[in-house]
């Protein structure tokens, strides 16, 4: 397991990017649950954020690609609007305990 951060470093409704062994990924906390994805839009393979740690739309309810505005469900990574509709972000298995937010080591490679 690879530790991303302490639980209090990803608050409710927040997104945060990480670079682990040259792999860009991000995590979002919603409804008390943490979701992690590769930071790569399925449309063009580009990074999603428009500013550091800014992966969500203005409402904070969807992940948004800053380049072409594609919108993704936080809970599944499925694209619900934009040029990659029907595709999905690549989810990473993650878990949380009192010591941190973790992703599977094999998923991070």
CB contact at 8 A, 94 and 108? no
pTM of the model: 0.92
Residue 98 lies in a domain: yes
Residue 34 lies in a domain: yes
CB contact at 8 A, 69 and 50? no
- The whole domain housing 25 covers 2-103
Cα-Cα-Cα-Cα dihedral of 88, 91, 96, 102, to 10°? -150
What's the rounded Cα separation, in Å, for the pair 63 and 3? 22
Residue 108 lies in a domain: no
pLDDT in tens, 69-105: 999 999 999 999 999 999 999 999 999 999 999 998 7
- Residue 107: pLDDT band (50, 70, 90) is low
What contacts 89, CB < 8 A, 6 or more positions away? 37, 38, 40, 41, 42, 48, 63, 72, 77, 79
Domain count along the chain: 1
Secondary structure class of 52 (helix, strand, coil):
coil
Residue 73 lies in a domain: yes
Instruction: Say which CATH number the domain at 78 has.
Output: 2.102.10.10
């Amino acid at each position: 397991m690879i530790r991303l951060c302490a639980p209090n470093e990803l608050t409710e409704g927040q997104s945060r990017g990480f670079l682990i062994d040259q792999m860009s990924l991000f995590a979002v906390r919603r409804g008390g649950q943490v979701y992690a994805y590769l930071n790569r839009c399925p449309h063009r393979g580009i990074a999603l954020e428009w500013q550091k740690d800014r992966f969500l739309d203005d409402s904070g309810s969807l992940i948004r690609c800053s380049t072409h505005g594609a919108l993704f469900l936080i809970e599944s990574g499925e694209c619900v609007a934009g040029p990659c509709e029907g595709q999905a972000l690549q989810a990473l298995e993650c878990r949380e305990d009192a010591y941190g937010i973790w992703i599977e080591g094999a998923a991070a490679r």
